[in-house]
Amino acid sequence: MKFVTSLIFLFSLPSFASPIRIFHEKEEGRARIVREIFQQQYFIPEDLIAVQEVPKCEELKGRGKLDLCLKNNGDLLVVSVDKGFIHESLKIFQAP
């Protein structure tokens, strides 16, 4: 059943765009480290995580399933989060 659920989830992903978006203020190296954590700890495929530079984290309006932003001072801000979606998604991507 878990396999069927994961297949349904994966085929429905294009309608969500990227479930995880990591924005950064000229901190691309740290943003890539955060992406690697999602990949290694939660087994989320790289193509489901977008990394993008923005001028200011405070100007972002969250509209994704999980949007994070790395400030120049190293702070990680949660811009938006859909807790129910994240909880169900991580169940699918956990290692057997």
Whole-number Å distance between alpha carbons of 1 and 60: 38
Which pLDDT belongs to residue 36? 94
Report residue 92's pLDDT band, with 50, 70 and 90 as the boundaries. low
For residue 51, the surrounding DSSP H or E stretch is strand 49-53
Which pLDDT belongs to residue 96? 57
Residue found under tokens 């994070």: 68
Residues 51-83 have pLDDT tens digits of 999 999 988 887 788 899 999 998 989 898 888
The DSSP output letter for 20 is E
Which residues, including other chains, have CB under 8 Å from residue 22's CB and lie 6 or more apart?
31, 34, 35, 49, 50, 51, 52, 68, 69, 70
Residue found under tokens 């790395």: 70
3-state secondary structure of 74: coil
